Amino acid sequence: MSTAVLPPSPSVPAAARVATGDAPRASVAQTGVWIGIATISMSFAALTSALVVRQSSAPDWQHFQLPPLLYLNTLALLVSSATLEISRRRRTVAALNATLVLGLLFVFGQVLAWRQLAAQHLFLASGPRSAFLYVFTALHALHVLGGLGGLLYVQRRLAGAVLAPTTFKAAALYWHFMAILWVYLLTLLTIRG
C-alpha cells in the first residue's frame, strides 16, 4: 500500500468570506437562539402531551380558578417585550432597563402566585392540574431567568457601545419567545380547566 506523503495543499490566505453587514460570528447568535427555541418548544410540547394524557387517564382533574395575579404577570411580560423592541430599534438603555425590571417583576409575580395557590391549599401534589401549573410556571420562570441573564449581557455591551445589532436581535428573539410561550402555557391551563 502506498504511503506517499503529499505536501499540504495550498490554501488562499485571508480569503474574503461572504459577509453581509455584520461579521459572520454575530449572526451565529441568532441561529443559536432559533435552535434554542426549537428545543424549548419541543420540551413544552412533550409536557403538553403529558398534560393531555394525564387529564384523560383519571377523573381527578381539579377545576379551580387560576390566580388572577397570573394575568397581571402576563401583562408585565408582554409590556417588557414592547420595551425591549423600543430599546432595540432606538438603541436606548432606559427602555432596556425597563425590560429588565418588568422581567424581574414577572418572576417575582409568579412566585407570589404560588403563594396564592398555596393559600387555597393547592400544592404540587394536590392534584394533576395544580401539578402541571407549578411545573409549567417553574420551568418557564427558569428559562426567563436565563433570558434575563442574556439581557444583562446585552445591557452591558449596549452601555459600552459594542453591541452588534444581530446580537441584540438574537436576545430579543429569545425574550419575545418567552412571552409567546407563557401566553401559550396560560391558555393551555385555562382551556383545560
Partner 1 sequence: MTHGVATSHAPPRPQSFLRRHVFSVDHKVIGRQYLDLALVAVVTGMVLSWIMRFHLGWPETPVPGLGKLAPTGAAGGVITPEYYLALMTMHGTIMVFFVLTTAPFAGFGNFFLPIHVGAEDMAFPRINMMSFWVTLVAFLVLLSAFFVGDGPPLSGWTAYAPLSAVGKDAGPGQGVGQTLWAISIAIFCVAQLLGSLNFIATTLDLRTRGMSLARLPFATWAWFITSVIGLVAFAVLMPACILLILDRVAGTSFFIPAGLVISDRLQPHAGGSPLLWQHLFWFFGHPEVYIAILPGFGIVSQILPVFARKPLLGPRVFITCLIAIAFLSYTVWGHHMFLSGMNPLSATLFSVPTLVITIPATIITLLWIGTLYGARLRFTSASLFALGFVSVFVSGGISGFFLAQPSTDIYLHGTYFVVAHFHFVMGVAAMFGIFAGTYFWFPKMFGRMMNETLGRWHFWLTFIGVYCVFMPMHYLGLAGNVRRYSAFTDEYLQPLIPLHRFITIAALFTGAVQLIFLFNLIRSRLRGPKAPDNPWEATTLEWSTSSPPPHDNFGGRQPVVSHGPNEYGNAGPRDYVMQADPQ
Partner 2 sequence: MGKLFAVVVTVIALVSAAIFAFHVWWLPPDISTHGVRIDRQMNETMVVAGALFVLGQLALAGFVWRFSAGERGAPRPVKSFPGGPTPLVVLATVLVGIEILVLTFVGSKVWADVYQTPPAPGALQIEVLGEQFAFYFRYAGADGKFGAMHPEMMNDATENFFGLDPANDTTARDDIVVGSLVIPINQPVVLEMHAKDVNHSFYVPELRIQQDFVPGLVIPLHFTATTPGKYELVCTQLCGLGHYNMRAFVEVKTQPDFAQWLKEKAAAL
Residue 101 binds partner 1, judged by CB under 8 A: no
Distance CA 171, CA 178 (A): 11
Residue pointed to by grid coordinates 409568579: 110
Instruction: Indicate which of partner 2, partner 1, none lies near residue 15 (CB less than 5 to 8 Å, by partner kind).
Output: partner 1
Site for partner 2 contains 187 (CB under 8 A): no
End-to-end CA distance of the chain: 72
CB atoms closer than 10 angstroms to residue 192 = 13
CA dihedral 33, 141, 180, 163 (to 10 degrees): -40
Of 131, 144, 152, nearest in space to 180 by CA: 144
Q: Which residue has the cell 468570506?
A: 17
Instruction: Determine which residue in the list 43, 120, 187, 190 makes contact with partner 1, applying CB under 8 A.
Output: 43
With CB under 8 A as the contact rule, the residue among 49, 57, 62, 190 that binds partner 2 is: 57
If one asks whether residue 36 binds partner 1 (CB under 8 A), the answer comes out as: yes
Which residues bind to partner 1, rule: CB under 8 A? 1-6, 8-19, 22-25, 27-28, 31-32, 35-36, 38-40, 42-47, 49-50, 53-54, 57-60, 124-125, 127-128, 131, 135, 139, 162
Which residues bind to partner 2, rule: CB under 8 A? 1, 57-58
